[in-house]
Amino acid sequence: MNPQSQIQAAQRAEVECLTDLFDAAMDGFEQLTRLQLQAMREFSRNHSRRLFEAMQARDARDWAALPQQALRPDPDGAMQYLQEFGRIAGSVQAAMSEALQQGAARLQRQMQEAAAQAGAPAAPEAPQRQAPRARGAAARAS
């Protein structure tokens, strides 16, 4: 393998890594956008429903008869949103970490192949660290 093809192979490995990172980021962005739109739609529907219920009240007795939850925001919806947001962020972080590890492994493999073909002693393999899984990290954090 000549130096030019060695450089091209290393560059190819880097481009593949960047493509994997971009794909992971875009997947996460799509999921977060979908979650945000869903939250906005639910917020709008809930407040419209509550507004119509409040508009139907003609006097203080009717207003007092409205269910109290109709007059307050829904804390369960906010908690579900935050949980889903956290799940998406964790999965994107794990996917990006995996893409970086695979990119580093591809680059290392390319460098070792280039060194072997050039007749130079190959660099010793660096021990690969395993990225903590999103679930394991979340379990340790709580």
pLDDT tens figures, 34-92:
999 998 898 888 878 777 777 776 677 776 776 665 555 667 778 888 899 999 999 99
Average pLDDT rounded to a whole number, residues 80-109: 90
Sign of the dihedral through C-alpha 22, 19, 137, 81: positive
94 vs 41, 91, 133, CA distance in Å? 29, 5, 7
Lowest model confidence (mean pLDDT) among 52-56, 109-113, 133-137: 133-137
Give pLDDT, residue 126. 54
Give the separation between CA 69 and CA 62, rounded to whole angstroms: 15
Choice among 54-58, 110-114, 127-131 with the minimum mean pLDDT: 127-131
Q: How confident is the model at residue 136 (pLDDT cuts 50, 70, 90)?
A: very low
Identify the DSSP state of 119.
Answer: T
Q: Has this prediction a pTM greater than 0.75?
A: no
The owner of tokens 């009240």 is 57
- Kindly give, in sequence order, each residue whose CB lies less than 8 Å from that of residue 109, ignoring residues fewer than 6 positions away: 13
Tell me what pLDDT residue 115 has: 77
